[in-house]
Structure 1
Amino acid sequence: MSRLTRVPGVLYGGDYNPEQWPEDVWSEDAELMREAGVTMVTVGVFSWARLQPGPDTWDFAWFDRLLDLLHAHGIAVDLATATASPPAWLVRAHPGILPVTADGVRLEFGSRQHYCPSSPEYRAAAVRLTRALAERYAHHPALALWHIHNEYGDHVTECFCARSADHFRAWLTDRYGTIDGLNHAWGTAFWSQRYGTYDEIEPPRTAPGPVNPTQLLDWRRFCSDALLECHRAEREALRELSPDIPATTNFMSMFKALDYWKWAEHEDFVSDDAYPDPADPRAHVNASLNYDLMRSLKGGRPWLLLEQAPSAVSWRPVNVPKKPGLQRLWSLQALARGADGIMYFQWRASRAGAEKYHSALLPHRGTASRGWRETVRFGAELARLGEVTGATTRADVAIVLDWDSWWALEVDDHPCARMRWPDLLRPWYAALHARAVTADFVPPRADLDGYRAVLAPSLHLLRPENAERIAAYVHGGGHLVCGPFSGVVDGHDHIHDGGAPGPLRDVLGVSVDEFWPIPDGEAVRLDSGAEATWWSEWIEPDAPDTEVVDSYASGQLTGRPAVTRRPYGAGTAWYVSAHLGEGIAAVLDDVLRAAGVRPVLDVPEGVEATVRSGTQGTYLFVLNHSDHDTRTQLTGPYADGGTDLLTGAAVRDHIDLRPLGAAVLRIATDSLGETDQ
């Protein structure tokens, strides 16, 4: 599928909740949507109680009028299945639908996502509603996209009720077969935890002390799978009744609770909800990271930014609005990183409810507001960028991301609780971002042959078969950088024979003798001048060609290796035994040079540059996230410049940008020549 939907151009719009407003407002909304250049809106996300007021009572008449009105105004519909929040009548008829915490507290009705993922009553009711919507609207001319549920796992990622326990036991039986297989995997010889039958197993509820870590790891896997089963049941109903309409569900950026590699297999395309904090001066770097992940989840295909805030959100302790121009810049950033649609929460600001202080494309002040003027201006700009849709991004660098490893890394009772995957990843990614080097994310099972360099900031859990793929990549000429506390445990969370780095010992040429966490508030210097916090390791080079690149210069490990490099076959592998924070940039510079990785452009600080290429052209995005004017020289394949699609102006030699400014250049094809950019 080359396009996300049949709607031409960049998708633009947001969540529309007309049930919150009298019908005489709907016509005004449709007219204003057209004025703003809106091409698609999401409807029905929280409409279950209105669509199905009782067990056998349906009210589609208002929905019919709504979809007809939108279609008459040329606005396509992303139709939600409305299953994210069960109505009160369903909860009261089946109170077992409500989720239970690890402490045994049953959560009540009155918020949203108040359901147990394992509840058969919830699942049956959700599929029934999905089928009713598909039977009625599968052929409606406004329908462009199915929006399954909403933000799975946002509030409830797990339930500890008796039904969840039964479901967990069935999942474990499928995974391990015999109870002896489970006992081995969970290491139940420890603390007399051996089970005689599956019936003796319960979810990892609150216990007197530390819970079995492999049980916790399997629980994380199970909870992700249980929610995925709910999603797949709705997806199958839509595939049966509406096979020609694509379906997606909105992910939540780099979200720990759900294994998005597995989830993405069941999406026609990936969509994301992203809410960077305007109060964070580095928020755009983390947003870029998340957008690269969304692009990577379906192998580089375009994705959809399904929600973002036009200005302030309502759920942080302090909700800072976006200053003028920031909403535009951050939206263009998503487009630069592979999005083919820019959507928002929400169209019209709510007057009641928990999100009444959340910003909207049409704010409380209406068309007199600053926000409305930005909504209209940006809609007009996006209309000029339609040719970018479908274009893809090529990356020379891959970052290995494994949810199993993330979950295992952050279980309790480790040498240092500070070792959290996002915190380990971000300095590595920030170094690439500052250098205008584009990266893909890949699972550890991926084919790595197309990448010049592969970064593994943390591979705490590493299966031998995946280590073999990584080693083969290096042996064939690849360049690997592996971060600390990697190759420690196998798929059952058991320590590898011989300790870390386990199955990567041969390719890295080192052994970890002892983990050496660094106390809070302290730092350890390296010979290079870099500083390590949180973590260091006593490592021993155990191959004759392992080279010490950097050593510890203070602390108990003074004089011992900190960073090593080993040639392996036709490639090279680096091991970084400490958390270096921003100091990782110097190591990565060495790696990128050796691997022949080039930046898109040499950019000044605060400027982001990336490229999308497609059948209609090659597009260079240059974005100024700084608070001052910048000049970016156009070099290499972009030296001859091109046409800025935002202004229509020809650009040569360099790009000058005001603070929060942006340029989207269609590059002249005769200037590209033979290039791998």
Structure 2
Amino acid sequence: MSGDALRRLSGRLGGGIAYGGDYNPEQWPREVWDEDVRLMREAGVNLVTVGVFSWAFLEPRPGQYEFGLLDEIMDLLHAGGVAVDLATATASPPPWFSLRHPEALPVTADGTRLWHGSRQTFCPSSPAYAEAAGRLVERLAERYRDHPALALWHVHNEWGNHNAHCFCDTSAQAFRDWLRARYGDLDGLNETWGTAFWSQRYGDWAEVLPPRATAAVANPTQQLDHWRFSSDALLALHRREAAILRRLSPGVPLTTNLLLTLEKKVDGFSFARECDIVAVDQYLTAADPESHIGLSLDADLARGLGGGAPWLLMEHSTSAVNWQPRNIAKTPGQMRRNSLAHAARGADGILYFQWRQSKAGAEKWHSAMLPHGGTDTKTWREVTALGRDLAALAEVRGSRVAADVALLFDWNAWWALESDATPSRDVRYLDLVRAWYEALWSLGITCDLVHPGSDPSRYRLVLVPALCLTTDADAASLAAFVREGGHAAVGFFSGVVDENDHVRLGGYPGAYRELLGVRTDEFFPLREAESVRLSDGSAATVWTELVEPRGAETVLSFAADPASGGPVAGHPAVTRHAFGDGVSWYVATRPEADGLRELLGRVCREAGVTAAAEVPAGVEAVRRQGPDATYLFLINHTARDASVPAAGVDLLSGAAVDGRAEVRAGDAMVIREHRPTGTAAAE
């Protein structure tokens, strides 16, 4: 669906890639608006998001709707040739709502009620909020469904960013209703939650509560179900708004902006299924010197949410953000590289928060397309230059990213792995996913981050770095993939619990024992900052375990000397197993970066996976496939010029590339290659 909706959106924009950002004209006097539209045209902007935080202007008093300001800005943008992604404005209830409905304010696990004064100050289970938001969405849809500027509906904003979990009495009742629907009766709940432990058995539904602050470790399955419930409560609100828009404004696609790895609070796959176009926000972690790799991971996950279809980058920053401990400005050229990296990995729209940098409020130090300094600034010059670049890449729109590797990603596994009761606090979901992903990135290999329930048959290799929780069906799917000739690699502590966070008995790694041809008797997590040596001289950290091969061959062992090999010295650390017509690998520790890169390089070679291009370290290479050509994106994140084998035409400069692409330090190229014989069309 995402591909079809993006084609319609692109048609509204005159073809090509969407470019723009959040526009908040209510923050500025009327005389600024004309200048905004003029400068948008100068920068190449063709799409802006309007109304994200405008509820207090649209409904200044309960039931009193005023659309004059929005009417004027919609007309002005249309006259200026700028299309609108119109937000439903429901992410920030106005002060009158909180005053009238104090019971709708969210409550933390320790019983603290959070008051109005920021955004998303509402309980996701509040009937009053749902009704007020629904009324506003109806009025917006009725008024603007036929407006010529309207190209896309933007439902809410960053669902659950600040209020994913509420522990008030209303939420408690909603949680009980959700549990009844899931388990049917208290016997089912007690069995699933394992309430025989610590005398937690429930005899009446009124006794069941969210995992509020308590004296000791909370029930792990109760915690997991509360994560699921909280995500579903927000999803119900999304569906409510989406249903109104689809009923009153059919034919206009809708989306919402997901936060992906910035927050683990909602299940991105469930929200993506409810959108016509997948759209995400992505912000660099300033403290990370390799933040561009985290950017790529998010981009590949965004693509995975939509089944490989192109997607929209709804928000990122031109320079510094305002909410990290140290908000570091982007260096010259970094904004361009970031944006082109998203385009390389499937984004057909590049948008920012926000168009004009605010002069007041909590985000006044957050960068924007038009900064405080106006047009005589580095940022503005880079914004206008990027607009020209994206116009030159118009033909790339609709093409799909080529990837032979799938990396399984699951919010449920993330929630389970980071509950309060696990063998080591050093085993963190994103750390493990990022380590495996970074090894692939450094090898120039592109992967899709996909749900464990996805069909793996179109890939050569499936990676499972951190799937502690898995269902029987998903485990069987992976085993069938390998049995039929696929390759898979599985990381430690994967497959150990079922979907209810119950341990799979009979030895670890549980659901994957037969596939991997191993059985682990006991885990031996390492102490903080402790490391061990492997048989090839490389190092590993965080985790070891007592692995017994049962059909698998040992590829690497923990060093034989206990002083360097750790508590399971001499036992297998990495195994390889011929399973059916395919091959599976088990990685029973966390190799350091060089060792993991070498290991996954071997796994990829055996699976027949190759890089998009032969590139030196620090140069990103990704290929998008279209119906008539392929497009090789080369992005040089280093301070050194790079030479890469390639042939075609650089769309950014118009220069021919005859055998080698010379990518200057900090620069990028997008090379149109003729489509190789047999390459599938993108659409």
The TM-score, its normalising length taken from structure 2, stands at 0.96
Matched positions, count:
667
Deviates more, 1:409-418 or 1:44-53: 409-418
Q: Give the drift of 1:618.
A: 1.4
Q: Give the drift of 1:675.
A: 5.7
Distance 1:123-1:96 versus aligned 2 partners, 3 A rule: same
Deviates more, 1:251-260 or 1:143-152: 251-260
**Which residue number corresponds to residue 220 of structure 1?**
227
**Which residue number corresponds to residue 602 of structure 1?**
614
Q: Give the drift of 1:530.
A: 2.1
**Which residue number corresponds to residue 391 of structure 2?**
383
- Whichever residue aligns with residue 639 of structure 2, its letter is D
Write the deviation string for residues 560-607 of structure 1: whole angstroms up to 9, x where unpaired. 111111101101111111011312222212211111111111110110
Q: Give the drift of 1:676.
A: 8.3
**Which residue number corresponds to residue 539 of structure 2?**
531
Q: Give the drift of 1:413.
A: 2.0
Q: Give the drift of 1:186.
A: 0.4
Residue 163 in 1 paired to residue 170 in 2?
A: yes
Match of 1:565 among 576, 579, 584: 576
Correspondences of 1:181-580 after superposition (within 5 Å):
181-254=188-261, 255-278=263-286, 280-543=288-551, 546-553=552-559, 554-580=565-591
- Whichever residue aligns with residue 195 of structure 2, its letter is T
Instruction: State the SS of the aligned residue for 1:618.
Output: strand
**Which residue number corresponds to residue 146 of structure 2?**
139
Q: Is the 8 A contact 1:78 1:147 kept in 2?
A: yes
Q: Is the 8 A contact 2:443 2:597 kept in 1?
A: no
Instruction: State the SS of the aligned residue for 2:567.
Output: coil
Residue 3 in 1 paired to residue 7 in 2?
A: yes
Aligned partners of 1:581 and 1:258: how far apart in 2?
30
Aligned partners of 2:512 and 2:211: how far apart in 1?
32
Q: Give the drift of 1:499.
A: 2.9
Aligned partners of 1:257 and 1:486: how far apart in 2?
21
**Which residue number corresponds to residue 637 of structure 1?**
none
Q: Give the drift of 1:674.
A: 4.3
Q: Give the drift of 1:542.
A: 2.2
Distance 1:170-1:371 versus aligned 2 partners, 3 A rule: same
Between the two proteins, what is the percent identity of the paired residues?
53
Residue 586 in 1 paired to residue 598 in 2?
A: yes
Residue 630 in 1 paired to residue 642 in 2?
A: yes
Q: Give the drift of 1:376.
A: 1.3
Match of 1:644 among 637, 650, 657: 650
Write the deviation string for residues 74-110 of structure 1: whole angstroms up to 9, x where unpaired. 0000100000010011110111111000010000101
Match of 1:656 among 658, 662, 675: 662
Write the deviation string for residues 356-395 of structure 1: whole angstroms up to 9, x where unpaired. 1111111111111221111111112211111111111121
**Which residue number corresponds to residue 562 of structure 2?**
none
Q: Is the 8 A contact 1:249 1:271 kept in 2?
A: yes
- Whichever residue aligns with residue 580 of structure 2, its letter is G
Q: Is the 8 A contact 2:639 2:666 kept in 1?
A: yes
The TM-score, its normalising length taken from structure 1, stands at 0.97
Deviates more, 1:371-380 or 1:507-516: 371-380
Runs of 4+ in 1 over 4 A off after TM superposition: 674-677
Aligned partners of 1:345 and 1:402: how far apart in 2?
27
Q: Give the drift of 1:227.
A: 0.5
- Whichever residue aligns with residue 557 of structure 1, its letter is V
- Whichever residue aligns with residue 246 of structure 1, its letter is P
Aligned partners of 2:219 and 2:322: how far apart in 1?
38
Aligned partners of 2:138 and 2:180: how far apart in 1?
31
Q: Is the 8 A contact 1:4 1:340 kept in 2?
A: no
Q: Give the drift of 1:331.
A: 0.3
Aligned partners of 1:542 and 1:374: how far apart in 2?
58
Distance 1:676-1:627 versus aligned 2 partners, 3 A rule: farther
Instruction: State the SS of the aligned residue for 2:7.
Output: coil
Aligned partners of 2:402 and 2:575: how far apart in 1?
29
**Which residue number corresponds to residue 50 of structure 2?**
43
Distance 1:482-1:349 versus aligned 2 partners, 3 A rule: same
Aligned partners of 1:580 and 1:248: how far apart in 2?
39
Q: Is the 8 A contact 2:357 2:364 kept in 1?
A: yes
Aligned partners of 1:503 and 1:152: how far apart in 2?
33
Q: Is the 8 A contact 1:4 1:269 kept in 2?
A: no
**Which residue number corresponds to residue 160 of structure 2?**
153
Q: Give the drift of 1:616.
A: 4.5
Unaligned runs of 5+ in 2: 560-564
**Which residue number corresponds to residue 130 of structure 1?**
137
Instruction: State the SS of the aligned residue for 2:566.
Output: coil
Aligned partners of 1:246 and 1:214: how far apart in 2?
37
Aligned partners of 1:199 and 1:481: how far apart in 2?
45
Write the deviation string for residues 609-655 of structure 1: whole angstroms up to 9, x where unpaired. 11111235211101101122111122xxxxxx111110111111111
Residue 82 in 1 paired to residue 89 in 2?
A: yes
**Which residue number corresponds to residue 63 of structure 1?**
70
Q: Give the drift of 1:280.
A: 2.8
**Which residue number corresponds to residue 673 of structure 1?**
677
Aligned partners of 2:386 and 2:167: how far apart in 1?
46
Instruction: State the SS of the aligned residue for 1:3.
Output: helix
Q: Is the 8 A contact 1:313 1:319 kept in 2?
A: yes
Aligned partners of 1:280 and 1:298: how far apart in 2?
27
- Whichever residue aligns with residue 393 of structure 1, its letter is V
Match of 1:16 among 20, 23, 32: 23
Q: Give the drift of 1:526.
A: 0.3
**Which residue number corresponds to residue 119 of structure 2?**
112
- Whichever residue aligns with residue 49 of structure 1, its letter is A
Aligned partners of 1:534 and 1:285: how far apart in 2?
22
Aligned partners of 1:280 and 1:661: how far apart in 2?
20
Instruction: State the SS of the aligned residue for 1:574.
Output: strand
Aligned partners of 2:509 and 2:173: how far apart in 1?
37
- Whichever residue aligns with residue 623 of structure 2, its letter is V
- Whichever residue aligns with residue 570 of structure 1, its letter is D
Unaligned runs of 5+ in 1: 635-640
Q: Is the 8 A contact 1:397 1:453 kept in 2?
A: yes
